[in-house]
Chains A and B, each alone.
Chain A
Amino acid sequence: MKHLLLALCLWAMAYSVFSQELYVSTEPASNMATNSLGIRVEDQGYFNPTYKNRETLELMYGASRHLMVHGSIYVSDYYENQQHFDGGSIYVKYRFLSVDSVQKHFRGAFFTKLSSINNPIVNQEITLEGDNSGLQSGFVFTQLLHKLALSGTVSYLHAWDNAGGFNLPVSNAKNAVAYTLSSGYLLLPKAYKDYSQLNVNVYAELLGKTNPGYGQSYLDAAPAVQLIFNSLIRVDFSYRIPLYNSMIRNTDHMYLVRLEYNLFNL
């Protein structure tokens, strides 16, 4: 079953008809247009052993043609019985490489993320999306080649003690390596004529992390569906299915629902 899923993901990546790079679980190397603002409201969660969820409010701003900044705040009931403010993060992406032509482009960007979170640390996975205070830095490369679009990221994560006196347990890994591989294609419309047409995009993403020296790692397949209304409003759905997992984490079998609204020319 898991091999089948992996094979399906790879097949989807190789046979993308119209490539799309508005990935759901990762970021492409491309940035938003200068002076445009994206507003995201997100709900993520899991059902086992009990239903828990997290809401994220994220603002994304295109500062220049090369630089883009995201700011996020998180609220969840992951570590308490009621919803509680987890903290926030700042993400910066700098596009340093663009080799473009009409049918293909190759882009590279460097990104870094900083988070401050006030939750107890009970998981082995280091995530800066509401669970750990830390730093993440890495590279993302996106290649569009005729009809195939692939995007990969490699990054390094470092966790600190969390705010609120919640220290990182001594037995936990302080460092991790994260890697992703994503692909997407435009399912609808068949003939792309104007902005008001509903876009339906389907994505196949592989998301992995390893805590080096601790024998803890995972690789998830994260299929996703995306609807874009009027070229302004974006709705994402995704679900993470572990292909293998040896890490205690919140992101196991996690769903994601997201609403994004874009404002151009501020």
Chain B
Amino acid sequence: MKALKIFMALLMLTTGIAKAQFTKAELQVSGLTCALCAKATEKSLRTLPFIGDIKPDLIRNIFVITFKNDQAVNFDEISKKVQDAGFFVNSLKATFNFDKVKVANNYFSYGGDTFRVMNGADKPISGQVPVTIVDKGFAPKSLSKKYISQVADAAPVKPGRIYHVAI
């Protein structure tokens, strides 16, 4: 257990440089119909250590999130907070800086997790690019199913959680 903790700490340290690559995100929540609900959801999201600031757009049910640049972003935690507040993530479009990390064979990694690009980008990607997570819990079920069903080949062994994204 202790060895695992040390390993995790080392992993955090070595991936520390990569933390700043997700800079912000547009989170659209479905089912929000009242001010109380939106405020409860935002307050719940703000308890996450990697969230710097949140600007709500109450007309479009969107939270514009700015991430802290010294903390790794955990997208599953975001989805969990929204669901605990009683709602669902309709879309999560996070901006990733591709200047230092490149997409190779439709994969890129961040904070110990692996991201699989679903709409096979042939042209090289660089700079700040919005990335939409299409996994269950981040998109409407039908959309998520459509993307995940495309995964025909056996996924190669990759570290961490594998997120599926569209660019």
Contact = CB atoms under 8 A, between A and B. Distances in A.
B56 A32 contact: no
A35 B83 CA distance: 12
B90 A34 contact: no
B59 to A, nearest CB: 6
Contact of B38 (A107, A149, A195): A195
A168 interface: no
A65 B56 contact: no
Interface residues of B, number: 27
Interface stretch (A1-9, A43-51, A125-133, A228-236): A228-236
A22 to B, nearest CB: 6
Interface in A8-31: 19-22, 30-31
B36 A231 contact: yes
Contacts of B71: none
B81 to A, nearest CB: 9
Contact of A20 (B31, B34, B85): B34
Given A32-B86, A102-B90, A234-B36, A194 B30 contact: no
Contacts of B30: 100-102, 105
Interface in B10-63: 28, 30-31, 33-41, 43-44, 47, 56, 58-59, 61
A144 interface: yes
Contacts of A170: none
Contact of B36 (A64, A98, A149, A262): A262
A21 B33 CA distance: 7
B41 to A, nearest CB: 7
Given A22-B34, A234-B36, A101 B90 contact: yes
A154 to B, nearest CB: 22
A245 interface: no
Contacts of A262: 36, 40
A192 B58 contact: yes
B33 A144 contact: yes
Most chain B CB within a 10 A radius of its CB, from A65, A193, A234: A65
Looking at chain A, what size class is its interface with the partner chain? 35 or more
Interface in B56-98: 56, 58-59, 61, 83-88, 90
A195 B39 contact: yes
B31 A105 contact: yes
Contacts of A264: 39-40, 43-44
Nearest to B46: A265
B59 A192 contact: yes
B39 A21 contact: no
B35 A100 contact: no
A195 to B, nearest CB: 5
A33 interface: yes
A262 to B, nearest CB: 6
Nearest to A199: B35
A216 interface: no
B140 interface: yes
13 contacts: A19-B33, A21-B33, A32-B40, A33-B41, A98-B31, A101-B90, A102-B90, A144-B31, A195-B56, A195-B58, A199-B35, A228-B35, A264-B40
Given A95-B86, A105-B30, 11 more contacts: A19-B33, A32-B86, A34-B44, A34-B84, A34-B85, A62-B86, A98-B31, A192-B35, A231-B35, A234-B36, A265-B47
Interface of A: 19-22, 30-36, 62, 64-65, 95, 98, 100-102, 105, 107, 144, 149, 191-195, 197, 199, 228, 231-232, 234, 262, 264-265
Q: 9 closest Cβ contacts across the A-B interface?
A: A33-B40, A34-B84, A231-B39, A33-B85, A231-B35, A100-B31, A192-B58, A264-B43, A100-B30
